[in-house]
Structure 1
């Protein structure tokens, strides 16, 4: 996989002009479900590709955690889009989204046990064989957990990486949500991430509501995810991170401030990493 670097931003039509005119973005992530698999690519994405900005194709509907194997039609569509976009990788979620032909409309959590790991590993291998570029897998946020999980989230992610050749897309906003909602040991998860398998990191905003933290992608990034990003960079060194925004799009100056906050967290972490190596 061609390494990513710097701070990126998720492409949305509402942010297309900002992305097109902003200097210094390290890479851009594009939602597969927002693209017409048969029609032309949006012109701003063509311009990004021509400028050499690294592009990642991000999917939400493959359903790698389903009991059924990934649908060949969906894999073919992803593969075709990745080639047309010139994507450096495809990323998807460790979740299930349908069963028996019924769509959930959500990224639902998986039971963290050995049986699920085997099902997931088989589905991931099928996806990897069908895609023309590497696959990265993302941890999800959830408002509930399956009863009595056999594995912690850190053990679960380590098991996924051990059984597949996929990379990890670590979402520190999702990790922050699970730490607040379920008591997930975020430090254990960060310690379990091997740098050589880390593709990139997601950062996003959320809000507390009804006693739970909701990963909305529609609010300013709070301190929690930024602190986790800094801690990760302090352990593994420089890494690529991307800001997601899906609603309540802020004015350009506020969006720039959010990107600067992500960049600042990374820089503080790298300083700590450098000092530790020199000690």
Structure 2
């Protein structure tokens, strides 16, 4: 996989002009479900490819956590879009989204069991065989957990990576949400991440409501995810990080400030990493 670097932004039509006119973006991420499978690509995306800006194709509907294997039609669509975009990789979620043709409408958590690891490994293998670029798997935020998990979230991610060849898309905003909602040991998850398998990092905002933290992608990024991003960079060194924004798009100056907050968190972490290496 071509390495990503720097700070990126999720491409949305509402942000296309900002992305087109902003200097210093390391890469962009495009939602597969927002693109027509056979229609022309949006002109701003064509310009990004012509400029050589690295693009990641991000999907939400493949359903790697289903007992049913990924649908060949969905895999074909992802493969075709990845080739048209010149994507460096495809990313998807460690989640359940459908069964028997019924859509959940949400990214639902998976039971952290040996049986589920077996299902994931086979589904990931099928997806990797169909895609022309590497596959990265993303941890999700959830409002509930299955009872009596066999693994902690850290050991679960280790199991996924040990049974597949996939890369990891670590979402520190989702990790922050699970730490608040379920008591997930965020430090243990960060410690379990092998740098050589880390494709990139997601950062996003959220809000507390009804006693739970909701990963909304529509609010300012709080200190929690930024602290986790800094801690990750302090452990493994420079990592590519991408800001997700899906609603309530802020003015350009506020968006620029949010991107800068990611850069500052990464810089602090990298400084700690270099200091530790020099000690």
TM-score by length of 2: 1.00
Q: Report the RMSD for the aligned CA atoms in angstroms.
A: 0.3
Alpha-carbon separation, structure 2, partners of 1:84 and 1:266: 31
Distance 1:25 1:121 in 2: 34
- How far the C-alpha of 1:147 sits from its partner, in A, is 0.5
Note if 1:116 corresponds to 2:116.
yes
Give the aligned partner of residue 85 of structure 1: 85
Specify the alignment match of 1:206 in structure 2. 206
Counterparts of 1:13-52 in structure 2, within 5 Å, are 13-52=13-52
Quote the Cα distance in structure 1 between the aligned partners of 2:181 and 2:196: 29
Tell me what 1:240 maps to.
240
Distance in 2 separating the partners of 1:60 and 1:134? 16
Look up the match of 1:142: 142
CA shift for structure 1 position 56: 0.2
1: CA distance, partners of 2:148 / 2:169? 25
Classify the secondary structure of the residue corresponding to 2:50: helix
Query: Helix, strand or coil for the counterpart of 2:247?
Result: coil
Q: Equivalent residue of 1:87, what SS? A: coil
Whole-angstrom distance in 2 between the partners of 1:185 and 1:257 = 29
CA distance in 1, matches of 2:96, 2:179: 21
- Write out the 4+ residue segments of structure 1 that deviate beyond 6 Å after TM superposition: none
Number of the residue aligned with 2:174: 174
Matched, 1:221 2:221: yes
Partner of 1:277: 277
Could you report, residue by residue, the CA deviation over 1:169-226 in whole angstroms, capped at 9, with x for unpaired residues? 0000000000000000000000000000000000000000000000000000000000
SS of 1:29 mapped into structure 2 = strand
Q: SS at the partner of 1:121?
A: helix
Partner of 2:98: 98
1:100 to partner: Cα distance: 1.0
Give 3-state SS (helix, strand or coil) of 1:56's partner: strand
| 3-state SS, counterpart of residue 242 of structure 1 | strand
- Residue 163 of structure 1 pairs with residue 171 of structure 2: no
CA distance in 2, matches of 1:198, 1:11: 21
How many correspondences in the alignment?
279
Task: For residue 169 of structure 2, give the secondary structure of its aligned residue in structure 1.
Answer: strand
Instruction: Give the alignment of 1:244-259 within 5 angstroms.
Output: 244-259=244-259
Hey, what does 1:268 align to over in structure 2? 268
Tell me the secondary structure at the aligned position of residue 184 of structure 1: coil
Flag structure 2 segments of 5+ consecutive residues without an equivalent: none
Q: Which residue number corresponds to residue 58 of structure 2?
A: 58
Post-superposition offset of 1:59: 0.1
Q: Could you list the runs of 5+ residues in structure 1 that have no partner in the other structure?
A: none
Partner SS for 1:254: helix
Alpha-carbon distance between aligned partners in 2 of 1:143 and 1:88, rounded to the nearest angstrom = 31
CA distance in 2, matches of 1:100, 1:172: 32
